[in-house]
Structure 1
């Protein structure tokens, strides 16, 4: 019985196997298996999470540092003093001009002038004119006015009508006597001028 020829194991026979191995290796490199793709995606997620935590931590450190600086600055810098209103010592609301009018009027006794630099603080006691006589008509308040506030005077200027400045009348207004004035307020609640109400009996 003749022997069957065996498989070809020469140099050409191993070439086919090597080519098959190379082709399989190339496919693995071009398209990674499912397990490798899953592992690669997981590693990417881990890297992104670490980067996010690192950036978030940096932001947190920066926020804490800024907050600490603001607290240190607040502790070092004293708070500015509270600004107290100087126009009134009560809940007085300046009268508003009527429609078509430039000023609103307040009839009042003015007295107790106190000089404070370029301003004069006076006490104002609202009045009501009843048959030529002045009678109290409300709660007293204070006004702080520029020393150059214009004043129309008559008795205060010696009996003759005269336009003077408030600081020219300080010697009269600092005494105990109360002088009747009409105070003119503009639309923003500022005092424009004072007019002596000389026609009223004190």
Structure 2
């Protein structure tokens, strides 16, 4: 006897529909995985771009360091007491170039000048510089957690305690220090 209600066809359609919803076709699975990979890649590129931009802005990385590098030239050993330090120079269109380093051993010299020792954070090169005592310094942790502006001469007592605070030291195009900014997020406790 032939079923005239169409129940058999309806049940067959329902079974096919349930099978499609339970197991997506191969094309849908491939498209979903591709979308997932694209979202992950975009998230990585976005976060990597933020980190790279921050590192470039803080002077930790240099755009000149990307790509193939030439072999280092043979260098003659320097005489004892000479420094390997070369002041950073501002990029074209920039007013200052910065280096991150520990600033310590502040000593007041004659003529209202302060001599400090700077140990570069990236390379470990240590050098001494003499700067005016009126050089502006942005501080936070050095001033007991109170953010503000001070002069280098006011910090001599605190800077004499050894390499404890990290500063961004700003140099002009002639290699002179123009200001210091405490990098309190890098401060050693």
Shorter-chain TM-score bucket reads 0.5 to 0.7
CA contact (8 A) 1:89 1:141 kept: no
Do the aligned partners of residues 176 and 198 (structure 1) sit closer, same or farther apart at CA in structure 2, a change above 3 Å counting? Answer: same
CA offsets per residue over residues 29-73 of structure 1, 9 Å max, x none? xxxxxxxxxxxxxxxxxxxxxxxxxxxxxxxxxxxxxxxxxxxxx
2:179 corresponds to = 193
Deviation, structure 1 residue 96:
0.4
Instruction: Tell me the secondary structure at the aligned position of residue 121 of structure 2.
Output: strand
The counterpart of 1:127, out of the listed 121, 133, 147, is 121
Task: Find runs of 4+ consecutive structure 1 residues off by over 4 angstroms.
Answer: none
Residues 153 and 163 of structure 1 are in contact (CA less than 8 Å); yes or no, is this contact kept in structure 2? yes
Partners of 2:108 and 2:187 in 1: CA distance: 28
Q: CA 1:89/1:155 → structure 2, altered by over 3 Å: closer, same or farther?
A: farther
Q: Is the Cα–Cα contact under 8 Å of residues 108 and 124 in structure 1 kept in the other structure?
A: yes
In the aligned structure 1, how far is the partner of 2:129 from the partner of 2:162?
Answer: 17
Larger radius of gyration: 1
Matched, 1:150 2:136: yes
Structure 2, unpaired ranges of 5+: 1-80
Q: Give yes or no for the alignment of 1:105 onto 2:91.
A: no
Q: TM-score, normalised by structure 2?
A: 0.53
So what's the TM-score if we normalise by structure 1? Answer: 0.50
Q: Structure 1's 89 and 114: CA in aligned 2 closer, same or farther, altered over 3 A? A: farther
Aligned length: 107
3-state SS of the aligned residue for 1:199? helix
Question: How much does 1:177 deviate?
Answer: 4.4
Unaligned runs of 5+ in 1: 1-87, 129-136
Q: Describe the superposition over 1:61-109 as per-residue Cα deviations: whole angstroms up to 9, x where unpaired.
A: xxxxxxxxxxxxxxxxxxxxxxxxxxx9513211000111110001000
Which residue does 2:66 correspond to in 1? none
Change (3 A) 1:89 1:143: farther
Q: What is the root-mean-square deviation of aligned Cα atoms in Å? A: 1.6
